[in-house]
Amino acid sequence: MAQSSELKVSGIDVTVAYTNESDQPVTEHEIEAYVARAHEQHPHQVLSFLKLDVDGEDVGISYGFEPLPFDRIRRITGYLVGTMDRWNDAKTAEESDRVKHGVSRDERAFTCSNGC
């Protein structure tokens, strides 16, 4: 019979699942060590949850991290950019004067001339 407990340690949601009734409970000190390990291995990410699966002497660790912000990168007039806010007036004018090509939905449709 599996048992589980949910608690909050250092502001992080922690779920501990025990496979067997005879499994030793995980102490708060051990959980803090697992949280410290996550911070050491992933220093640039924010830990949101921790899940521990206890099976006898074995402990499975699952970390959940906050999503990282992603900046869109586009190729505009030969430059890879995220934003154009640091461009000078000439480069901004070049971008606004460029011809933007598109393909209409009808042109993209595949037509088969041999009746397939």
CA neighbor of 12 nearest in space, from 31, 37, 25: 31
CA neighbor of 45 nearest in space, from 62, 30, 28, 63: 63
Rg (CA), the chain: 27
Instruction: State residue 65's pLDDT score.
Output: 92
Structure pTM?
0.57
Average pLDDT of the chain to the nearest whole number? 81
Instruction: State residue 41's pLDDT score.
Output: 92
Q: What amino acid occupies position 109?
A: A
Instruction: State residue 87's pLDDT score.
Output: 79
- E-strand spans in the chain? 3-9, 12-18, 47-55, 58-65, 74-76, 79-81
The first and second tokens of residue 97, run together, are: 């004067």
Mean pLDDT value of segment 3-11:
85
